[in-house]
Amino acid sequence: MNTIHDQIQNLSGVTLILGGTGKTGRRIAASLQAKGVPTRMGSRSATPAFDWHHEAGWDACLQDVEAVYINYAPDLAMPGATDAIQAFVDRAKRHGVQRLVLLSGRGEAEAQACERIVQESSVEWTIVRASWFNQNFSEGAFLDMVVDGQITLPAGDIAEPFVDVDDIAEVAVAALTEPGHAGEVYEVTGPRLMTFADIATELSNATGREITYISVPHDAFVAGVKESGAPKEVVWMLDYLFNTVLDGRNAHLIDGVQRALGRPPKDFAEYAKAVAATGLWRGVTLTV
């Protein structure tokens, strides 16, 4: 008789990837498609469209789905996230979804509340808990700062174990496709603690030009983000991350990548070298 893990490994239905066009989602989608896993992108631009604020459209997205990667945008700490996660999990259960993989946030009480909703769902689950991404400097809010040569943020000298999005995606793919990951909380970090000044040094080494870190007052930073015309969700998220989460609570390493994948996590220097080779941080993209 097959074990429950054998049954999960042999799932033949669709895997729904929420946030399918985001940093983690598009990597997960590409990997699953390369493995021949039927996938459905969960985004507002997909057909059928998925929108966290339009629950009536979720049924079409969940049709014939057996596994879901849940990435709540912009973050599980946002007000209303727990209600949305509860509603989605309830609907997923009604559609017969058999596995849930949730991207969660380290050191965020609100995110852990969302984790509990998934854990208590009676559906097979895996939690992937992460914080600051390497790719924030190449695919996110800090890219222009790197190009300009000055990383101006209200981060002080707090150290973080920046994690690579490729590692997060690989852990999620393993949880979605392999046995042995059900019921696991994988808290994923990079291999070392780094301050933003350390990040600037690594970026300088990789690019061959001087990139500096300048610590700025928190209120002035948030005011600048508002004045730039950033969406209010982005303003709220950056305010929350720098004012609440970046206080040293996550300044320790965890072995989530090693436990999930059997290998150490990617170092920031390796990431920086690869991105620098593309010319992105010089404001151009090279063919390599």
The ranges assigned to domains in the chain are 4-133+162-190+250-266
> Residue-wise pLDDT tens for the chain (288 aa)?
333 344 345 556 999 999 999 999 999 999 999 999 999 999 999 999 999 999 999 999 999 999 999 999 889 999 999 999 999 999 999 999 999 999 999 999 999 999 999 999 999 999 999 999 999 999 988 999 999 999 999 999 999 999 999 999 999 999 999 999 999 999 999 999 999 999 999 999 999 999 999 999 999 999 999 998 988 888 998 999 999 999 999 999 999 999 999 999 999 999 999 999 999 999 755 444
What are the backbone dihedrals phi and psi of residue 26, each rounded to the nearest 5 degrees, phi first?
-70, -30
Counts for the chain of helices (H) and strands (E), in that order? 12, 8
Q: Which CATH class is domain 4-133+162-190+250-266?
A: alpha beta
Query: In angstroms, how far is the first alpha carbon of the chain from the final one?
Result: 50
**CB within 8 Å of 141: residues ≥ 6 apart:** 234, 238
Distance from the Cα of residue 130 to its chain's centroid: 7
Residue pair 93/123 in contact (Cβ under 8 Å)? The answer is yes
pTM for the model: 0.93
Rounded to whole angstroms, how far apart are CA atoms 3 and 24? 30
**Which residues sit opposite 188 in a β-bridge?**
255
Q: Where is 102: in which H helix or E strand?
A: strand 99-105
Other CB atoms within 10 A of residue 36 CB? 7
